[in-house]
Amino acid sequence: MNSSVSVETVCRDRAKFARRIIGISAMEACGRASGYVNLNLKRKTMAQIHPQPREKGIALVLRSKGENRPATDFVRIEVSELGGYEGGPNITWLNGTGNEFNIVKGPAIAFLIPDAVAPLGDDAPAWQNIASLLEHAKTLK
């Protein structure tokens, strides 16, 4: 069982950064003990936040349903390299497999949001990109 923990426990020194992403998402956050945060809308996970210590940032993870997602300059990273991927219950969400998923949704896609984005203002293109990706995530029901 993957128990709930605080966003601060999961994200540690990036908690403020993660809280800012959560705030613009207008979704409910649920930290998971295996090292990521679910962003839920009506009790359904629409996106995830994974702190990335090696890459110096936060991975924003969403479904890859179709190619109609907003353009972004953020670098894609492999979901198989995210914390909590191996052996955890999150693997079905990341791979888009299991009873609750269908072939239309497909696997998740991850973008690295570098730490350098955290201090930028809300009107910065990077934060506008994050907002667009999160709004897109809400359409992937």
What pTM, to 2 d.p., does this model score?
Answer: 0.88
What is the strand order of the sheet 108-114 is part of? 4-5, 28-32, 36-41, 44-52, 57-63, 108-114, 75-77
Indicate the helix (H) or strand (E) that contains 9: helix 7-11
The pLDDT confidence band at residue 101, using thresholds 50, 70 and 90, is low
Percent of the chain predicted with pLDDT > 90? 51
Q: Which amino acid makes up residue 67?
A: E
Check whether 129 has a pLDDT greater than 60. yes
**What integer best gives the mean pLDDT of the chain?**
86
Strand partners, 32: 4, 36
What is the DSSP code string of 120-134?
S-TTSHHHHHHHHHH
Residues 19/7, Cβ–Cβ less than 8 Å? yes
Sign, CA torsion 5/7/11/12 = negative
Q: Which two tokens stand for residue 56?
A: 């110096």
